[in-house]
Amino acid sequence: MAEEKLPPHDIEAEEAVIGSLLIDPEAILKVAVSLKAEDFFSETNRVIYQACLSLYQRNEAINQITVAHELMRQDKLEQIGGAAFLSHLISNVPTSLHVEYYAQIVSNTAVMRRLIAAAGQIEALGYEASPDVEASLNDAEDILFKVRARQGLRGLVPIREVLGQYFEEAGQPTTLREGEVPHILTGFAALDDSLGGLHRTDLIVLAAKTSLGKTSLALNVARNAAINQKACIALFSLEMSREAVIQRFLGSESGVDSKRIRLGRFSEQDEIKIMEASGVLSEAPIYIDDSPMLRVVDIRSKARRLHFERGIDLIIADYLQLIQGDGRNETRVQEISNITRALKTLARELNVPILALSQLSRAVEARPSHIPQLSDLRESGSIEQDADVVIFIHREDMNYSPEEWSKVHDIEREPYPRGIADIIIAKHRNGPLGQIKLRFLNRVVKFDNLEAELISAS
Protein backbone atom coordinates (compact mmCIF):
# COMPACT_ATOMS: atom_id res chain seq x y z
CA MET A 1 0.00 0.00 0.00
CA ALA A 2 1.42 3.41 -0.96
CA GLU A 3 2.45 5.64 1.93
CA GLU A 4 0.07 8.55 2.50
CA LYS A 5 1.62 11.87 1.48
CA LEU A 6 1.37 14.49 4.21
CA PRO A 7 0.74 18.14 3.35
CA PRO A 8 3.68 20.58 3.68
CA HIS A 9 4.76 21.22 7.28
CA ASP A 10 7.87 21.72 9.39
CA ILE A 11 7.52 20.46 12.95
CA GLU A 12 11.03 21.61 13.90
CA ALA A 13 10.24 25.20 12.87
CA GLU A 14 6.97 25.07 14.81
CA GLU A 15 8.73 23.85 17.95
CA ALA A 16 11.46 26.46 17.47
CA VAL A 17 8.84 29.23 17.44
CA ILE A 18 7.24 28.04 20.67
CA GLY A 19 10.61 27.39 22.32
CA SER A 20 11.63 30.96 21.47
CA LEU A 21 8.48 32.29 23.11
CA LEU A 22 9.10 30.27 26.27
CA ILE A 23 12.65 31.59 26.75
CA ASP A 24 11.97 35.16 25.62
CA PRO A 25 8.63 36.77 26.56
CA GLU A 26 9.31 39.68 24.16
CA ALA A 27 9.50 37.34 21.15
CA ILE A 28 5.70 37.20 20.95
CA LEU A 29 5.74 40.84 19.83
CA LYS A 30 7.58 39.82 16.65
CA VAL A 31 5.18 37.10 15.54
CA ALA A 32 1.73 37.66 17.08
CA VAL A 33 0.41 39.77 14.19
CA SER A 34 1.54 37.59 11.31
CA LEU A 35 1.36 34.08 12.81
CA LYS A 36 -1.97 32.53 13.81
CA ALA A 37 -2.64 29.37 15.79
CA GLU A 38 -4.22 27.72 12.74
CA ASP A 39 -0.91 28.09 10.89
CA PHE A 40 0.56 25.24 12.98
CA PHE A 41 0.29 21.75 11.49
CA SER A 42 0.80 19.90 14.78
CA GLU A 43 -2.23 19.94 17.05
CA THR A 44 0.06 19.95 20.07
CA ASN A 45 2.01 22.96 18.86
CA ARG A 46 -1.20 24.71 17.88
CA VAL A 47 -2.63 24.34 21.39
CA ILE A 48 0.55 25.62 23.04
CA TYR A 49 0.84 28.62 20.72
CA GLN A 50 -2.81 29.51 21.36
CA ALA A 51 -2.08 29.43 25.08
CA CYS A 52 0.82 31.85 24.51
CA LEU A 53 -1.49 34.15 22.53
CA SER A 54 -4.09 34.03 25.32
CA LEU A 55 -1.49 35.14 27.86
CA TYR A 56 -0.28 37.86 25.50
CA GLN A 57 -3.81 39.19 24.98
CA ARG A 58 -4.26 39.38 28.77
CA ASN A 59 -0.90 41.18 29.05
CA GLU A 60 0.53 38.38 31.20
CA ALA A 61 4.08 37.05 31.13
CA ILE A 62 4.92 34.14 28.83
CA ASN A 63 7.26 31.47 30.22
CA GLN A 64 7.27 27.77 30.96
CA ILE A 65 5.38 28.15 34.24
CA THR A 66 2.66 30.52 33.03
CA VAL A 67 2.07 28.53 29.83
CA ALA A 68 1.82 25.29 31.82
CA HIS A 69 -0.66 26.96 34.17
CA GLU A 70 -2.73 28.26 31.24
CA LEU A 71 -2.82 24.81 29.65
CA MET A 72 -3.80 23.27 32.98
CA ARG A 73 -6.59 25.84 33.33
CA GLN A 74 -7.85 24.78 29.88
CA ASP A 75 -7.43 21.10 30.89
CA LYS A 76 -4.99 20.59 28.01
CA LEU A 77 -1.64 20.18 29.78
CA GLU A 78 -1.67 16.39 29.69
CA GLN A 79 -2.87 16.49 26.06
CA ILE A 80 0.34 18.20 24.93
CA GLY A 81 2.63 15.89 26.93
CA GLY A 82 2.80 17.72 30.25
CA ALA A 83 5.40 20.15 31.57
CA ALA A 84 8.12 17.78 30.34
CA PHE A 85 7.28 18.59 26.72
CA LEU A 86 7.56 22.31 27.42
CA SER A 87 11.02 21.66 28.88
CA HIS A 88 11.89 19.73 25.73
CA LEU A 89 10.90 22.71 23.56
CA ILE A 90 13.10 25.05 25.58
CA SER A 91 16.11 22.73 25.41
CA ASN A 92 15.93 22.62 21.59
CA VAL A 93 16.22 26.41 21.13
CA PRO A 94 19.37 28.10 22.44
CA THR A 95 18.19 31.62 21.49
CA SER A 96 15.10 33.47 20.29
CA LEU A 97 17.14 35.51 17.81
CA HIS A 98 15.68 33.76 14.76
CA VAL A 99 12.05 33.53 15.88
CA GLU A 100 10.81 35.60 12.90
CA TYR A 101 12.63 33.29 10.49
CA TYR A 102 11.06 30.22 12.13
CA ALA A 103 7.64 31.91 12.06
CA GLN A 104 8.00 32.64 8.34
CA ILE A 105 8.64 28.96 7.65
CA VAL A 106 5.51 28.00 9.61
CA SER A 107 3.47 30.65 7.78
CA ASN A 108 4.73 29.60 4.34
CA THR A 109 3.89 25.93 4.85
CA ALA A 110 0.45 26.95 6.15
CA VAL A 111 -0.15 28.88 2.91
CA MET A 112 0.77 25.81 0.91
CA ARG A 113 -1.71 23.74 2.91
CA ARG A 114 -4.41 26.33 2.35
CA LEU A 115 -3.59 26.24 -1.36
CA ILE A 116 -4.07 22.47 -1.38
CA ALA A 117 -7.39 22.88 0.45
CA ALA A 118 -8.45 25.57 -2.04
CA ALA A 119 -7.63 23.20 -4.89
CA GLY A 120 -9.94 20.63 -3.32
CA GLN A 121 -12.75 23.17 -3.01
CA ILE A 122 -12.28 24.22 -6.64
CA GLU A 123 -12.29 20.56 -7.67
CA ALA A 124 -15.60 20.12 -5.86
CA LEU A 125 -16.99 23.12 -7.74
CA GLY A 126 -16.00 21.48 -10.99
CA TYR A 127 -17.68 18.20 -10.10
CA GLU A 128 -20.89 20.05 -9.22
CA ALA A 129 -21.13 20.96 -12.92
CA SER A 130 -23.29 23.99 -12.23
CA PRO A 131 -25.07 25.36 -15.32
CA ASP A 132 -23.91 28.85 -14.26
CA VAL A 133 -20.30 28.59 -15.40
CA GLU A 134 -19.53 32.25 -14.74
CA ALA A 135 -20.71 31.94 -11.13
CA SER A 136 -18.52 28.86 -10.65
CA LEU A 137 -15.48 30.69 -12.03
CA ASN A 138 -16.19 33.62 -9.71
CA ASP A 139 -16.46 31.25 -6.73
CA ALA A 140 -13.17 29.60 -7.71
CA GLU A 141 -11.42 32.95 -7.97
CA ASP A 142 -12.83 33.99 -4.59
CA ILE A 143 -11.42 30.83 -3.01
CA LEU A 144 -7.95 31.64 -4.34
CA PHE A 145 -8.34 35.30 -3.45
CA LYS A 146 -8.94 34.39 0.19
CA VAL A 147 -5.68 32.43 0.22
CA ARG A 148 -3.81 35.42 -1.22
CA ALA A 149 -5.62 37.96 0.98
CA ARG A 150 -4.44 36.08 4.08
CA GLN A 151 -0.90 37.01 3.04
CA GLY A 152 -1.72 40.69 2.57
CA LEU A 153 -1.46 41.69 6.24
CA ARG A 154 1.01 44.46 6.97
CA GLY A 155 2.65 45.32 10.26
CA LEU A 156 3.68 48.68 11.65
CA VAL A 157 6.75 50.00 9.85
CA PRO A 158 9.05 52.78 11.13
CA ILE A 159 8.73 56.03 9.21
CA ARG A 160 12.42 55.93 8.32
CA GLU A 161 11.84 52.73 6.34
CA VAL A 162 8.71 54.12 4.67
CA LEU A 163 10.55 57.31 3.68
CA GLY A 164 13.39 55.26 2.24
CA GLN A 165 11.00 53.19 0.13
CA TYR A 166 9.12 56.30 -0.98
CA PHE A 167 12.19 58.13 -2.26
CA GLU A 168 13.61 54.96 -3.78
CA GLU A 169 10.41 54.44 -5.79
CA ALA A 170 10.06 58.15 -6.61
CA GLY A 171 13.59 58.22 -7.97
CA GLN A 172 13.10 55.16 -10.16
CA PRO A 173 10.22 55.69 -12.59
CA THR A 174 11.39 52.60 -14.45
CA THR A 175 9.90 50.50 -11.64
CA LEU A 176 6.49 51.17 -13.17
CA ARG A 177 5.05 48.47 -15.37
CA GLU A 178 5.76 49.15 -19.04
CA GLY A 179 3.11 51.54 -20.27
CA GLU A 180 1.88 52.28 -16.74
CA VAL A 181 1.22 55.89 -15.79
CA PRO A 182 1.49 57.25 -12.24
CA HIS A 183 -1.96 58.86 -12.42
CA ILE A 184 -4.74 59.18 -14.97
CA LEU A 185 -5.40 62.55 -16.61
CA THR A 186 -9.04 63.34 -17.36
CA GLY A 187 -8.13 65.49 -20.36
CA PHE A 188 -9.86 68.52 -18.82
CA ALA A 189 -7.14 71.00 -17.90
CA ALA A 190 -8.80 72.73 -14.95
CA LEU A 191 -10.00 69.45 -13.44
CA ASP A 192 -6.54 67.88 -13.76
CA ASP A 193 -4.95 70.99 -12.22
CA SER A 194 -7.26 70.71 -9.24
CA LEU A 195 -7.12 66.95 -8.69
CA GLY A 196 -3.67 66.26 -10.08
CA GLY A 197 -5.33 63.59 -12.17
CA LEU A 198 -7.09 60.47 -10.88
CA HIS A 199 -4.69 58.85 -8.43
CA ARG A 200 -4.16 55.14 -8.00
CA THR A 201 -6.01 53.48 -5.08
CA ASP A 202 -8.54 56.37 -5.03
CA LEU A 203 -12.30 55.88 -5.23
CA ILE A 204 -13.75 58.82 -7.17
CA VAL A 205 -17.52 59.27 -7.13
CA LEU A 206 -19.07 61.28 -9.97
CA ALA A 207 -22.69 62.22 -9.22
CA ALA A 208 -25.41 64.20 -10.93
CA LYS A 209 -29.14 64.30 -11.52
CA THR A 210 -30.50 62.28 -14.42
CA SER A 211 -29.64 63.55 -17.92
CA LEU A 212 -26.96 66.01 -16.81
CA GLY A 213 -24.15 64.07 -18.48
CA LYS A 214 -22.38 61.99 -15.84
CA THR A 215 -22.06 59.04 -18.24
CA SER A 216 -20.84 61.37 -21.00
CA LEU A 217 -18.19 62.85 -18.72
CA ALA A 218 -17.03 59.39 -17.65
CA LEU A 219 -16.78 58.25 -21.28
CA ASN A 220 -14.87 61.43 -22.16
CA VAL A 221 -12.40 60.67 -19.36
CA ALA A 222 -12.06 57.08 -20.59
CA ARG A 223 -11.42 58.26 -24.15
CA ASN A 224 -8.89 60.92 -23.14
CA ALA A 225 -6.94 58.61 -20.86
CA ALA A 226 -6.92 55.69 -23.31
CA ILE A 227 -5.90 57.73 -26.36
CA ASN A 228 -3.66 60.38 -24.81
CA GLN A 229 -1.95 58.20 -22.20
CA LYS A 230 -2.51 54.71 -23.62
CA ALA A 231 -4.12 53.86 -20.28
CA CYS A 232 -6.02 50.58 -20.08
CA ILE A 233 -9.64 51.19 -19.10
CA ALA A 234 -12.15 48.66 -17.74
CA LEU A 235 -15.65 50.06 -18.28
CA PHE A 236 -18.59 48.36 -16.55
CA SER A 237 -21.75 49.77 -18.12
CA LEU A 238 -24.72 48.49 -16.14
CA GLU A 239 -27.20 50.99 -17.59
CA MET A 240 -26.28 51.21 -21.29
CA SER A 241 -25.64 48.42 -23.78
CA ARG A 242 -22.25 48.21 -25.45
CA GLU A 243 -23.88 49.38 -28.70
CA ALA A 244 -25.15 52.54 -26.99
CA VAL A 245 -21.72 53.12 -25.45
CA ILE A 246 -20.08 52.79 -28.88
CA GLN A 247 -22.56 55.26 -30.36
CA ARG A 248 -21.62 57.75 -27.63
CA PHE A 249 -17.92 57.22 -28.32
CA LEU A 250 -18.38 57.61 -32.09
CA GLY A 251 -20.47 60.77 -31.77
CA SER A 252 -18.01 62.38 -29.39
CA GLU A 253 -14.97 61.43 -31.46
CA SER A 254 -16.37 62.19 -34.92
CA GLY A 255 -18.39 65.30 -34.14
CA VAL A 256 -21.40 63.82 -35.95
CA ASP A 257 -24.79 64.40 -34.31
CA SER A 258 -25.33 61.50 -31.89
CA LYS A 259 -29.00 61.27 -32.83
CA ARG A 260 -28.14 60.70 -36.51
CA ILE A 261 -25.64 58.02 -35.52
CA ARG A 262 -28.23 56.32 -33.34
CA LEU A 263 -30.83 56.32 -36.13
CA GLY A 264 -28.29 55.52 -38.86
CA ARG A 265 -29.28 58.63 -40.82
CA PHE A 266 -26.06 60.35 -41.72
CA SER A 267 -24.54 61.72 -44.90
CA GLU A 268 -21.63 60.35 -46.86
CA GLN A 269 -19.39 63.01 -45.34
CA ASP A 270 -20.58 62.03 -41.87
CA GLU A 271 -19.81 58.40 -42.67
CA ILE A 272 -16.22 59.34 -43.51
CA LYS A 273 -15.90 61.12 -40.15
CA ILE A 274 -17.40 58.15 -38.33
CA MET A 275 -15.00 55.70 -40.00
CA GLU A 276 -12.05 57.92 -39.10
CA ALA A 277 -13.27 58.07 -35.50
CA SER A 278 -13.67 54.29 -35.52
CA GLY A 279 -10.05 53.91 -36.59
CA VAL A 280 -8.87 56.06 -33.68
CA LEU A 281 -11.10 54.38 -31.11
CA SER A 282 -10.26 50.85 -32.24
CA GLU A 283 -6.68 51.40 -31.09
CA ALA A 284 -7.77 52.59 -27.64
CA PRO A 285 -7.25 50.01 -24.85
CA ILE A 286 -10.83 50.24 -23.55
CA TYR A 287 -12.61 47.06 -22.42
CA ILE A 288 -16.40 47.17 -22.07
CA ASP A 289 -18.66 44.92 -20.01
CA ASP A 290 -22.38 45.70 -20.39
CA SER A 291 -23.76 42.97 -18.11
CA PRO A 292 -26.89 44.49 -16.57
CA MET A 293 -26.98 42.44 -13.35
CA LEU A 294 -23.47 42.70 -11.93
CA ARG A 295 -22.57 42.10 -8.31
CA VAL A 296 -19.52 43.79 -6.85
CA VAL A 297 -17.88 40.36 -6.60
CA ASP A 298 -18.37 39.98 -10.38
CA ILE A 299 -16.75 43.36 -11.01
CA ARG A 300 -13.85 42.40 -8.78
CA SER A 301 -13.42 39.04 -10.46
CA LYS A 302 -13.53 40.41 -14.01
CA ALA A 303 -11.29 43.36 -13.18
CA ARG A 304 -8.71 41.11 -11.52
CA ARG A 305 -8.71 38.79 -14.52
CA LEU A 306 -8.13 41.65 -16.97
CA HIS A 307 -5.57 43.23 -14.67
CA PHE A 308 -3.49 40.05 -14.58
CA GLU A 309 -3.75 39.62 -18.35
CA ARG A 310 -3.38 43.21 -19.50
CA GLY A 311 -2.81 45.56 -16.57
CA ILE A 312 -5.63 48.01 -15.80
CA ASP A 313 -5.05 51.74 -15.24
CA LEU A 314 -8.64 52.87 -14.56
CA ILE A 315 -11.94 51.18 -13.68
CA ILE A 316 -15.25 52.92 -14.41
CA ALA A 317 -18.55 51.67 -12.95
CA ASP A 318 -21.77 53.17 -14.38
CA TYR A 319 -23.45 53.32 -11.93
CA LEU A 320 -23.39 52.48 -8.21
CA GLN A 321 -27.12 52.10 -7.61
CA LEU A 322 -27.40 49.42 -10.32
CA ILE A 323 -24.75 47.17 -8.78
CA GLN A 324 -26.39 44.17 -7.10
CA GLY A 325 -25.91 43.32 -3.45
CA ASP A 326 -24.58 39.99 -2.21
CA GLY A 327 -28.04 38.65 -1.40
CA ARG A 328 -27.92 39.09 2.36
CA ASN A 329 -31.00 40.43 4.11
CA GLU A 330 -30.08 44.07 4.61
CA THR A 331 -31.33 47.47 3.55
CA ARG A 332 -30.34 48.97 0.22
CA VAL A 333 -28.40 51.67 2.07
CA GLN A 334 -26.35 48.95 3.78
CA GLU A 335 -25.86 47.20 0.44
CA ILE A 336 -24.57 50.39 -1.21
CA SER A 337 -22.27 50.95 1.77
CA ASN A 338 -20.84 47.46 1.37
CA ILE A 339 -20.44 48.02 -2.38
CA THR A 340 -18.50 51.28 -1.95
CA ARG A 341 -16.23 49.67 0.65
CA ALA A 342 -15.60 46.75 -1.69
CA LEU A 343 -14.79 49.12 -4.57
CA LYS A 344 -12.37 51.06 -2.38
CA THR A 345 -10.72 47.78 -1.37
CA LEU A 346 -10.48 46.76 -5.04
CA ALA A 347 -8.87 50.10 -5.90
CA ARG A 348 -6.17 49.44 -3.32
CA GLU A 349 -5.79 45.78 -4.25
CA LEU A 350 -5.23 46.49 -7.97
CA ASN A 351 -3.55 49.88 -7.38
CA VAL A 352 -5.89 51.66 -9.79
CA PRO A 353 -8.32 54.58 -9.50
CA ILE A 354 -11.99 53.63 -9.66
CA LEU A 355 -14.46 56.14 -11.07
CA ALA A 356 -17.93 55.21 -9.80
CA LEU A 357 -20.97 57.07 -11.05
CA SER A 358 -23.87 57.76 -8.70
CA GLN A 359 -27.38 59.16 -8.78
CA LEU A 360 -28.58 61.99 -6.56
CA SER A 361 -31.66 61.93 -4.37
CA ARG A 362 -34.73 64.09 -4.97
CA ALA A 363 -33.65 66.40 -2.14
CA VAL A 364 -31.56 68.46 -4.56
CA GLU A 365 -34.70 69.44 -6.48
CA ALA A 366 -36.36 70.79 -3.33
CA ARG A 367 -33.77 73.54 -2.88
CA PRO A 368 -34.14 76.77 -4.85
CA SER A 369 -30.52 76.67 -6.06
CA HIS A 370 -30.61 72.99 -7.12
CA ILE A 371 -26.87 72.89 -6.35
CA PRO A 372 -26.01 69.37 -5.12
CA GLN A 373 -24.52 68.62 -1.71
CA LEU A 374 -22.83 65.54 -0.28
CA SER A 375 -26.01 64.65 1.60
CA ASP A 376 -27.79 64.36 -1.77
CA LEU A 377 -25.95 61.19 -2.73
CA ARG A 378 -28.72 58.66 -3.25
CA GLU A 379 -28.78 55.77 -0.76
CA SER A 380 -25.60 57.41 0.45
CA GLY A 381 -24.67 55.19 3.40
CA SER A 382 -20.90 55.34 3.34
CA ILE A 383 -20.44 56.71 -0.20
CA GLU A 384 -19.28 60.05 1.17
CA GLN A 385 -17.10 58.33 3.77
CA ASP A 386 -15.42 55.80 1.46
CA ALA A 387 -14.87 58.10 -1.52
CA ASP A 388 -11.55 59.92 -1.77
CA VAL A 389 -13.04 62.40 -4.23
CA VAL A 390 -16.67 63.37 -4.84
CA ILE A 391 -17.49 65.37 -7.98
CA PHE A 392 -20.89 66.83 -8.86
CA ILE A 393 -22.16 68.04 -12.23
CA HIS A 394 -24.54 70.99 -12.04
CA ARG A 395 -26.13 72.76 -15.00
CA GLU A 396 -28.17 75.79 -14.12
CA ASP A 397 -29.68 76.04 -17.61
CA MET A 398 -31.43 72.68 -17.16
CA ASN A 399 -33.74 74.29 -14.60
CA TYR A 400 -35.22 76.70 -17.18
CA SER A 401 -36.88 76.55 -20.55
CA PRO A 402 -34.92 78.28 -23.37
CA GLU A 403 -37.27 81.30 -23.17
CA GLU A 404 -37.02 81.58 -19.39
CA TRP A 405 -33.25 81.21 -19.54
CA SER A 406 -32.90 84.09 -22.00
CA LYS A 407 -35.01 86.36 -19.80
CA VAL A 408 -33.20 85.51 -16.57
CA HIS A 409 -29.70 85.65 -18.05
CA ASP A 410 -29.97 88.45 -20.57
CA ILE A 411 -26.59 90.16 -20.31
CA GLU A 412 -26.44 93.43 -22.26
CA ARG A 413 -29.06 91.99 -24.62
CA GLU A 414 -26.79 89.02 -25.32
CA PRO A 415 -28.25 85.66 -24.20
CA TYR A 416 -26.05 83.84 -21.70
CA PRO A 417 -24.90 80.59 -23.36
CA ARG A 418 -26.61 77.36 -22.48
CA GLY A 419 -24.67 74.15 -21.90
CA ILE A 420 -22.23 75.54 -19.32
CA ALA A 421 -21.66 72.85 -16.70
CA ASP A 422 -20.31 73.48 -13.20
CA ILE A 423 -18.02 70.64 -12.13
CA ILE A 424 -18.05 70.85 -8.34
CA ILE A 425 -15.31 69.13 -6.34
CA ALA A 426 -17.29 68.62 -3.13
CA LYS A 427 -14.81 66.29 -1.42
CA HIS A 428 -11.10 65.90 -1.99
CA ARG A 429 -9.35 63.87 0.69
CA ASN A 430 -5.88 64.95 -0.43
CA GLY A 431 -6.44 68.39 -1.91
CA PRO A 432 -8.59 71.52 -2.16
CA LEU A 433 -12.25 71.76 -2.96
CA GLY A 434 -13.31 73.91 -5.87
CA GLN A 435 -15.41 74.43 -8.94
CA ILE A 436 -14.59 74.55 -12.63
CA LYS A 437 -16.65 75.10 -15.75
CA LEU A 438 -16.88 72.86 -18.79
CA ARG A 439 -18.95 73.25 -21.92
CA PHE A 440 -21.44 70.49 -22.71
CA LEU A 441 -21.99 69.95 -26.44
CA ASN A 442 -25.44 68.43 -26.48
CA ARG A 443 -25.37 67.62 -30.21
CA VAL A 444 -22.49 65.16 -29.80
CA VAL A 445 -23.06 64.41 -26.08
CA LYS A 446 -19.60 65.56 -25.11
CA PHE A 447 -17.87 67.80 -22.57
CA ASP A 448 -15.14 70.18 -23.65
CA ASN A 449 -12.69 72.55 -21.95
CA LEU A 450 -14.08 76.02 -21.36
CA GLU A 451 -11.46 77.63 -19.14
CA ALA A 452 -8.32 76.49 -17.44
CA GLU A 453 -8.56 78.50 -14.26
CA LEU A 454 -9.96 77.06 -11.06
CA ILE A 455 -12.69 78.98 -9.31
CA SER A 456 -11.91 78.88 -5.60
CA ALA A 457 -14.34 77.15 -3.31
CA SER A 458 -16.28 79.37 -0.99
The amino acid sitting at 10 is: D
HEC string for the chain: CCCCCCCCCCHHHHHHHHHHHHHCHHHHHHHCCCCCHHHCCCHHHHHHHHHHHHHHHCCCCCCHHHHHHHHHHCCCCCCCCHHHHHHHHHHCCCCCCCHHHHHHHHHHHHHHHHHHHHHHHHHHHHHHCCCCHHHHHHHHHHHHHHHHHCCCCCCCCCHHHHHHHHHHHHCCHHHCCCCCCCEECCCCHHHHHHHCCEECCCEEEEEECCCCCHHHHHHHHHHHHHHHCCCCEEEEECCCCHHHHHHHHHHHHHCCCHHHHHHCCCCHHHHHHHHHHHHHHHCCCEEEECCCCCEHHHHHHHHHHHHHHCCCCEEEEECHHHCECCCCCCCHHHHHHHHHHHHHHHHHHHCCCEEEEEEECCHHHHCCCCCCCHHHECCCCCHHHHCCEEEEEECHHHHCCHHHHHHHCEECCEECCCCEEEEEEEEECCCCCEEEEEEEECCCCEEEECCCCCEECC
Q: In whole angstroms, what separates CA 358 from the centre of its chain?
A: 16
pLDDT string in tens for the chain (458-residue length) = 455 678 888 989 988 998 998 888 888 887 877 788 888 998 988 899 888 988 887 888 888 889 899 888 888 888 888 888 888 888 888 888 888 888 889 888 988 988 888 888 888 888 888 887 777 887 887 787 777 666 555 554 565 665 666 556 555 443 445 555 678 898 888 888 888 889 988 999 998 888 788 898 999 999 999 988 889 999 998 888 888 888 888 888 888 887 787 787 777 888 888 888 888 888 888 888 888 778 887 788 788 888 888 888 999 998 788 888 766 656 777 778 888 888 998 898 889 999 999 888 776 666 766 788 777 776 666 777 888 999 988 887 776 666 665 555 555 455 556 678 888 898 898 888 888 888 888 777 888 887 544 444 43
Tell me if 357 sits within 8 A of 392, measured CB to CB: no
Q: Which domains does the chain have, with CATH numbers?
A: 1-156 (1.10.860.10), 183-456 (3.40.50.300)
Catalytic residue, candidates 134, 169, 178, 239: 239
Contacts of 222 (CB under 8 A, 6+ apart): 233, 235, 286, 314, 316
Q: Is 330 a catalytic residue?
A: no
